[in-house]
Amino acid sequence: MEKTIVIDGKEVRFKTTAATPLRYKAQFQSDFFADLLKLAPLKKLFPKNLDVENMDVEKIQEAMRYLDFDLFYNILWSMAKTADKSIPEPLEWLDQFEVFPLKEIFPQVQDLINSNLQSSKKK
């Protein structure tokens, strides 16, 4: 599954394949699926149609305890690298962007992440 989104005026391709979790592990020495599970508590704290501007400060502080922004960047880099083998190492790749708004980017690629978690079992 593949998707192109615009980040800081640049078109960036993201893709997931069966190799994405292995690419992630090879680069970051961490298990892709275990790291995704670390983000699971956020679903309870953040509904799908989140209104951050009107959100309770205590709820935001609670959510911040769960966040490891490295996970977001690492997952996104792995999907971008899967789509385009020529992209550089993570820090060099991120340096190409003046802004990298995770709040806007991550929801756009959630379906790609979910595709790696889905079963292909026939009903």
Structural domain spans, the chain: 2-117
CA pair distance 8, 53, nearest whole angstrom: 23
| Total residue count of the chain as it appears in this document | 123
Of 118, 68, 83, give the one whose Cα is nearest residue 7. Answer: 83
Question: What are the residue ranges in the chain where pLDDT is below 50?
Answer: 121, 123
* Predicted pLDDT at 63: 65
- Neighbouring C-alpha atoms within 13 Å toward the C-beta of 54: 4
Residues pairing with 4 in the sheet: 13
Position 123 scores a pLDDT of 46
pLDDT of residue 87: 96
- Work out whether strand 2-7 and strand 10-15 pair parallel, antiparallel, or are unpaired: antiparallel
pLDDT at 60: 64
